[in-house]
Each structure stands twice: as structure tokens, then as C-alpha cells.
Amino acid sequence: MTGYLGSYATLGLLLLASVLFLVVAFSANRVLRPARPADPPGKRANYECGVDPVGGDWAQMQIRYYVYAYLYVLFAVEAVFLFPWAVIFDRPGFGLVTVVEMAIFVAVLALGLFYAWRRKILNWT
């Protein structure tokens, strides 16, 4: 399988093998499963760490948890971008331009933090 169409033939054989594997796996599942699966009492009940469930299954979450999670992810990504910059900062060729670029990056993130602080998003009530 060489030449222009050889790579497409390889891809086609791989796709055919994967579809064949999927069909064989689902067929084996259908053949080997029990005809009438058991449904013991309590099988479909909610399980809460060994304790019988109390109350309904719907609970309202406060949006502030998601805001804190979003802010954490935002500043974790900032740290991911700052570490490589800090490692190569002292190498030749990374001078004033690199410092200015990172200052702009940190300023934009600080502006976002200032915005969240002014809107009182960071106040825990």
C-alpha cells in the first residue's frame, strides 16, 4: 500500500476494523446477556453512601460556587502562563519587550479581578 491512495486505504481498513469490532462487541453482549435480567427490590433506588435517601432528589445550587470555580480556573491558567515566562526570562533575547508583554497580560487579569471585586462578586454571603 504505497503511493497516493495507500494512506487512504490504510485509513479505510482501520475504520472498517473499528466498525467490525463495535458490531462484534455489541453482538456478543446481546448473545451472552441473560434473557430476563433480575430486578431485585431497591435496585433502582438512590444510593447515598449507605444511608437511606431522605427528601427529594432536586437541590438548588448557589451560582456563587460556579463563580469561584471560574475565577480559580482563570487564575490557575494565569499561573500556567507565568511559569514558563519566569523560567526563560533571564535568557538572552528576552528583554524589555518580554517584560512589557507580561505586564500587559497581568494587567488584563488584574483588571478582571478588580471588576469582580467592584461588582462584589468576591463577597461571601
- Are 31 and 73 contained in the same domain? no
Task: Let me know whether 105 and 71 are in one domain.
Answer: yes
pLDDT at 10: 86
- pLDDT score recorded for residue 46: 65
Domain containing 30 equals: 1-35
The span from the CA of 118 to the CA of 121, in Å, is 8
Name the residue type at position 97. V
pLDDT of residue 101: 83
Does 47 reside within a domain? no
Residue 13, pLDDT score: 93
Q: Structurally, how many domains does the chain consist of?
A: 2
| 43 assigned to some structural domain | no
44 found inside a domain: no
Counting as low any pLDDT under 50, the low residues of the chain are none
Which triple of cell numbers denotes residue 104?
Answer: 500587559
Tell me the CB-side half-sphere exposure of residue 77, using CA atoms within 13 A.
Answer: 7
By the 8 A CB rule, do 58 and 64 touch? no
- Quote the pTM value: 0.41
The residues, ordered by sequence, that sit 6+ positions from 78 with a Cβ below 8 Å of its Cβ are 105, 106, 109
User: Is position 73 within any domain?
Assistant: yes
Per DSSP, helices labelled H in the chain are 6-32, 63-88, 96-118
d(CA 76, CA 79): 5
